[in-house]
Amino acid sequence: MDPNIRPLTPDVLKRMRAVQPGLPRATFEADGGWRRSYRVWQSVGKRREDNAQSRTIGSLTLSRSPVADDGFALRVRQQVLMIENPTIRYGGVHEINAEIDCANDALATPRRWRVEHRFHRHQKLLENLPLVYEGRADDGRVRQTINGRERVEPITGPWTAGWCLFAALPRMLEAGDMEHRFTQFDRFRTPRPDQHLFPRHEADFTSEFYGPMRCVAQIGSGGLPIDYWLDDSGQMPFVTNLHMAFIADDEAEEKIDRILRDNILMQFEAQEVA
Amino acid sequence: MPEATPNILFLSTDQHHFQALSSAGNPHVRTPHMDRLLGRGAAFSKAYSPNPICGPCRASWFTGVMASEHGDIDNRKVDPRPDLPTLGEWLGEHSGYRRIFAGKWHAGDHPFRYSIRGFDVILSGINRNAMLGDPSIAAVSEAFIRNQTGQAGPWLLVTCLQQPHDICESIRMDSQPMPCLPYGLAESDLPPLPDNFDYAHPPSAAIPEPKNPEWTELNWRYYLWSYYRHVEMCDAQVGSILSALEETGQLETTLIVFTSDHGEALGSRRHVQKNNVFDESVRVPFAVCWPGRVPVVDDEDTLVSGLDIAPTICDYAGAPVPAWYRGISLKPYLDSLEAGQPQSPDRSWIVAETGANTGRMVRSADHKYICYSDGSELLFDMRDDPLEMHDLCGEPEHAGLLNQHRGWLRQWEASLDRYPGVEPFPCR
């Protein structure tokens, strides 16, 4: 591999054999019901060492279901492999299951949610470490109970959660309204103010797999710039953030489940893309 | 639980420049949660890593001795000497504490592991991915804390976050210069370069040449901007852990020790990363907090070493402090402050090593002496020259000071119980 390539863009991901062939374009409606699964992939970009340690370290699956009251339900399942390297069979997993009731507004603002964290070690759930956030937003406040204890925080102005942006961006593209300033409430645990979402036209390109791709960037406090890459139907095959990427792969969740269930090594990395 | 036996949270960051905090007056980073922590206890601004590289420092934290003694001198995958009990093993033998570990270990082989002597590892981190690993490390720590109310016996929770170490991945990834003004950033958004950016220290085989000669000043300033975003990522995780203590009513019964394994050069001398004993690399944030038991104070005078963590934790836990520990317990000093009768620790200098046993630092109250294995030396007056730009070694009027620091280093080195195969350091 050319050591001078600059991670991470869709083009770089393709050269690193990390991308999948095209998404099912005809079936996607930003406002409809859809399910999208991503591999959580990281580049370990050692110069001149071929990025050999790059690997998948988890999965993120989001399911959108419209509901009657001008909103939609977003179900999230994220699994992160907490390990040193792909040759280790045993380790830990951080699993998050979330159900979020979102408004049909530009940022898919959360209205109610339940987020459950589960920690696994050597394939066994640590049952003595439950962690559940349940909350709702009203009157400029976020009210949550965390393992049964109440927390009330003020929140002013537009806001959303990181997962909700995966559902918001396709609708933004459709509406042609891609620039927003807001607070991001990461996993409903910590708010990050001063986020700015905007189209980054200079990065737009045409992919041989996905056709014309639009880049929408996010920059703000508490995080490095994120690029969201959308095709012309609003599907989002990639999200890139420094050395990490979410890469659409409808089998990602199943693959991670199988790795954990069967205790096999993580050998599904270097897939040839014709 | 008896009042005098607190729960203990040892919380660490990774590669955290000592001034990368809002509370240090830095306007380029926003760290409300770390500031909240530092503002609740004794914050020591003259605190130093015993070895400014991940593995050797961490092995020193948990064994209480220098890298040349425990053996992990250079991230070289050597586990600490098995005859040295870890802090977890020691407390297991000498106290009733449950010892829990979450995050990056790196005290020897395999930085991220599920088997650590003396600790119950509830979750490791992710190698080279703090961005994703830290929220999970913090979440499991939060889960542990939130599920402790009503549980028997005190606990020691070690939470080793990985940020802002991911800044290293930026460098590893980019064989081209860091971008200058991407994402609509204006030049005015980027932090300025440090005043010692263009200061070239005397050549020494023991420390690397300035990094990234192809970078422009704007490239460097974007690097600084990126680094501060990494610090902010870490700050959010500290916030969720602190909130768990507060919301479960455990803050008042928990002693918190907060520090980092080493600093970050942040462009000083055109360097990035660490592994030298200039302040940017070896000096670290450090605080001890226990509301009502440890006074709120900004301590700018007391010399503190990462070697002091294990004896301090033993002391607060009511366990004996092992005789072989090289650091001191800070508890007597903190107790004296709380009692309004300050008695400074009986120590006038501390020592740090560099990776691969190639260098030493002796930090005294006002001066810093640096010596490398190739024989080169530096001496700085840290009051007048905090950026370490004016070497006093060649100035005759400072010969006595130089000899005094050389003598302290010889005295220290003579007391070490070296790991087999680690050569004695060639003191002057």
Residue A112 has phi, psi (to 5 degrees) of -140, 155
Which position has the token pair 């918001």? A168
Q: Calculate helix-pair angle for B87-94, B309-317, nearest 10 degrees.
A: 20
The CATH fold of domain B349-414: Arylsulfatase, C-terminal domain (3.30.1120)
- Listed in sequence order, the DSSP H helices in chain A are 10-15, 162-175, 252-262
Nearest to A224 among B122, B144, B226 (CB): B226
Same fold, B7-170+207-338 and B349-414: no
List the beta bridge partners of residue B158.
Answer: B10, B101
Give the containing element (helix H, strand E) for B102. strand B98-103
Give the count of beta carbons closer than 10 Å to the beta carbon of residue A55. Answer: 26
Which position has the token pair 């690993």? B133
Chain A segment 90-119 residues within 8 A of B by beta carbon are 90-92, 94, 117, 119
Residue B103's nearest CA partner among B75, B140, B51, B78 is B140
CB-based contacts of B147, cutoff 8 Å, min separation 6: A128, A129, A130, A147
Helix (H, G, I), strand (E, B) or coil at A43: coil
% chain A with pLDDT above 70: 85
Band (pLDDT 50/70/90 cuts) for residue A87 is low
Closest A-chain CA to B241: A189
Pairing of strands B98-103, B120-124: parallel
CB-based contacts of B38, cutoff 8 Å, min separation 6: B21, B23, B258, B285, B287, B289
Give the count of beta carbons closer than 10 Å to the beta carbon of residue B203. Answer: 10
Residues of chain A with Cβ-Cβ distance to B124 below 8 Å are 82-84, 91-92
> Region A128-151: what's the mean pLDDT?
96
CA–CA separation, B248 and B383 (whole Å): 43
Residues of chain A with Cβ-Cβ distance to B236 below 8 Å are 186, 189-190, 192, 222
Sign of CA dihedral A249, A254, A260, A264: negative
In this structure, chain A runs to a length of 274
Region of residue B22 (left: phi > 0; alpha: psi -120 to 50; beta: else): alpha
Q: Using the beta-carbon criterion (under 8 Å), do B147 and A224 form an inter-chain contact?
A: no
CB contact B341 to A (< 8 Å): no
Give the containing element (helix H, strand E) for A128. none
CA–CA separation, B330 and B255 (whole Å): 13
CA–CA separation, B321 and B329 (whole Å): 8
Closest B-chain CA to A118: B140
CB contact A83 to B (< 8 Å): yes
Confirm if B330 and B316 have CB atoms less than 8 A apart: no
Q: Using the beta-carbon criterion (under 8 Å), do B128 and A219 form an inter-chain contact?
A: no
Give the containing element (helix H, strand E) for B336. helix B331-338
Transcribe A217-264 into DSSP letters.
EEE-TTS--EEEEEETTS---EEEETTEEEEE-TTHHHHHHHHHHHT-
ipTM (interface predicted TM): 0.94
Q: What is the mean pLDDT of chain A?
A: 86
Domain ranges of chain B: 7-170+207-338, 349-414
> Region A210-229: what's the mean pLDDT?
92
CB contact B284 to A (< 8 Å): no
CB contact A143 to B (< 8 Å): no
The CATH fold of domain B7-170+207-338: Alkaline Phosphatase, subunit A (3.40.720)
CA–CA separation, B129 and B81 (whole Å): 28
Residue A179: predicted pLDDT: 96
Residue B1: predicted pLDDT: 41
Confirm if B368 and B358 have CB atoms less than 8 A apart: no
**Six token digits for residue B268:** 């000083």
Nearest to A243 among B142, B169, B237 (CB): B169
Which whole-number Å values give the CA distances from A203 to A212, A213, A247, B37, B170, in the listed order? Answer: 11, 9, 18, 41, 20
Helix (H, G, I), strand (E, B) or coil at A210: coil
CB contact B144 to A (< 8 Å): yes
**Six token digits for residue B320:** 């004996």
Give the containing element (helix H, strand E) for B332. helix B331-338
Report how many Cβ contacts below 8 Å link chain A to chain B: 161
List the beta bridge partners of residue A40.
Answer: A58, A246
pLDDT per residue as tens, chain B (428 positions): 445 689 999 999 999 999 999 999 999 999 999 999 999 999 999 999 999 999 999 999 999 999 999 999 988 778 889 999 999 999 999 999 999 999 999 988 888 888 899 999 999 998 888 999 999 999 999 999 999 988 888 999 999 999 999 998 877 766 566 777 788 889 999 999 999 999 877 767 667 677 778 889 998 999 999 999 999 999 999 999 999 999 999 999 999 999 999 999 999 999 988 889 999 999 999 999 999 999 999 999 999 999 999 999 999 999 999 999 999 999 999 999 999 999 999 999 999 999 989 999 999 999 999 999 999 999 999 999 999 999 999 999 999 999 999 999 999 999 999 999 999 999 99
Residue B107's nearest CA partner among B9, B216, B12 is B12
Confirm if B262 and B25 have CB atoms less than 8 A apart: no
Region of residue B269 (left: phi > 0; alpha: psi -120 to 50; beta: else): left
Nearest to A131 among B113, B132, B142 (CB): B142
pLDDT digits over B129-172, tens only?
899 999 999 999 999 999 998 888 899 999 999 999 999 887 77
Q: Using the beta-carbon criterion (under 8 Å), do A222 and B146 form an inter-chain contact?
A: no
